[in-house]
Structures are given as C-alpha cells and as structure tokens.
Amino acid sequence: MGGHCPNVADLLFCCEIEQLNMLYAPADGLDIESVLRPFPQVRAWMGRVAGATSPVYEEVHKLLRYASKKRHEAMSKRNAPSRL
Amino acid sequence: MYELYVDFMSQPSRALMILSRINSKSIGGKVSEKTVLIHKGQHRTEAYLKLNPLGQIPCLVKRGERPNGASEGPVEFSLPESCAILRHLCEVFGLDAWYPSCSGTGSLADLRERQARVDSALHWYHSTLRKGCGGLTFHKVVAPKLGQTPVEAIADASKVALHKALGQLERHWLRDGPSWEAIVPTSRTSCSAAR
C-alpha cells in the first residue's frame, strides 16, 4: 500500500472512497471533502494512485463524476428556498 | 477467455476495470468487460444468476472454446468476490507489480510474505472501509433511489466506521517505512519470462 507503484489494494481502496463524491453536504450533512479533511495522507495518496493509473483512472470514474454532478444539481434545486 | 461482469457505479468493479485496462497488453484481449446495470436490476436476471447465483457484481467468468453453431463457449469457472478476482487475474496474467505472483530471483518464502501483506490489506477492507463507505453511500444515496427506506441509524454507524477506517488507512496502511516498502516489487518485468 502507498508504494511508488500502486497494487490491487490501492486500486480497491481508492475506488471505494471515490464513491463519496455522490454525497451532497447541504442534504446529506457531509461530503467527500469534509470526510477526508482530517486525513491529508489519504488525500495525497489518492492523487498519486490516480496519477499513476492515468488516464484509465478518470476513464472508469467518468460515469460516477457525471452521476454525482446530476445528483448535486437535483438536490440543490430541491433545497432551494421556495419563491412562494 | 474471460468475461468480467461489472458496473461503472460499483466501487470494486472500477478497481477491476482499472487493473484489466491498464494491463491490456499483458492480458492480450483475453478479458472482455460485460456491463451489468445494477440500477436496472440486471444482476437479478435469470441469465446473470446462472453465471453468479449470488447475484453480485463484479464476477469473473471463464469460458471454454465456442462449439460450432453455439453463440458462446461453456462456463468453465465462475468467480465472485472482487478481492479474489483481483488476485486471480494478477496470478493468471503474471501482473506481478499489482499482486506479487512470481518469486523471480527471490525465495518462495519472500514471495509468500509479499503476497500476505497485500492479502492482509484486502481482508482488512471488507469490515472497515467497505462497511463504512458502502453503508454510508447506500443509505444516503442508493436506498432512496431504489425506493427503499434509508436507515439513518445505519448511515450514522457507517459514518463512524468510515472515520475509523480512514484513520487506520492514514496511520497504518499508508505509513512510511519498511512494511510498505517491502511490497513494492523490485521490477515490474521480472515475471514476463515466466508468463
């Protein structure tokens, strides 16, 4: 784990944590930023794994990024103050 | 020939896709991705349950030669569970950098120890990171989408579990020092001759 070349555990753990991108703080009370804030080593390591496996890493996370964005947009509309 | 049944929205599926796509040269077209959409219930179809009676994604399926007139070869081997699949693909295709699979010039005892270190991390994952992260995203995001009632108590417990898991990741698994240096392979190509 955390070596210069990623191994299967690095891949598995990073892909798990990436799922937190779906969370939207105003509705869920937390998001990936707030969850990872106390863990700078984890954040730095995720960046290294993504870099070492680029561009495949972003390729397989494309749908998750899109789904996250869509969910955040839908929830921000739902949470917007009513005009009435 | 292998078929890898995956969904882009599944965390372990993505890890497997990264492994197989990044090593496409070593794998030489012998693993093909098959998408199974969980949100459309495709993992619960009769056809999929025949391949993996557990109805889980991901799954690795090995097929034999396609007989004349048949659309596909017979299933020779079906392997559920992401950690087992990750390890198996590395061993079958000699992806030594990703999971130690050949001793090279070192001893067998050394290989076993390097394997055990990765196995230890893979086993740790299930009841810690997976439980916390999976539980939290399921009850916050997935359950409402599937029409299930999210359980706030489970989401809260998962949040605590996730925080603890990330602390262990930060302080134990990613710590500097010989324990993780030891699993970094000395050469990414040392296995190519034995493949």
Which stretches in chain B have pLDDT values below 70?
176-195
- Specify if A84 maps to a domain: no
Looking at residue B148, its pLDDT comes to 87
If one counts every other C-beta atom within 10 angstroms of the C-beta of residue B47, the result is 8
Residues in chain A with pLDDT values less than 70: 1-4, 79-84
Contact flag A11-B86 (C-beta cutoff 8 Å): yes
Q: Hey, which residues does B79 pair with through a beta bridge? A: B60
Q: What is the pLDDT of residues B172-193, one digit of tens each?
A: 999 854 334 334 443 343 344 3
State the residue range of the domain holding A32.
8-79
pLDDT at B145 (0 to 100):
84
Residues in chain B with CB shorter than 8 Å from the CB of A2 are 173-175, 180
Whether residue A1 is contained in a domain is answered as no
Best residue in A1, A53, A58 for a mutation probing chain B (most B CBs within 10 Å): A1
pLDDT at A3: 60
pTM: 0.90
What is residue B77's predicted lDDT score, i.e. its pLDDT? 94
Q: Assess if residue A3 is contained within a domain.
A: no
Whether residue B131 contacts residue B124, with contact meaning beta carbons closer than 8 Å, is answered with no
Asked if CATH classification 3.40.30.10 holds for the domain at B2-92, the reply, yes or no, is yes
A61 vs A46: CA distance, rounded Å: 13
Q: Which two tokens stand for residue B51?
A: 């391949």
CA distance B102 to chain A (A): 15
Write down the domain spans for chain B: 2-92, 108-183
Q: DSSP alpha helices (H): ranges in chain B?
A: 11-22, 24-27, 46-51, 82-92, 108-125, 131-137, 143-145, 152-168, 178-181
Domains in chain A: how many in total? Answer: 1
State the Cα–Cα distance between residues B139 and B142, nearest whole angstrom: 6
Among A3, A12, A35, beta carbon nearest to B181:
A3
A2 within domain boundaries: no
Residue at A73 is within a domain: yes
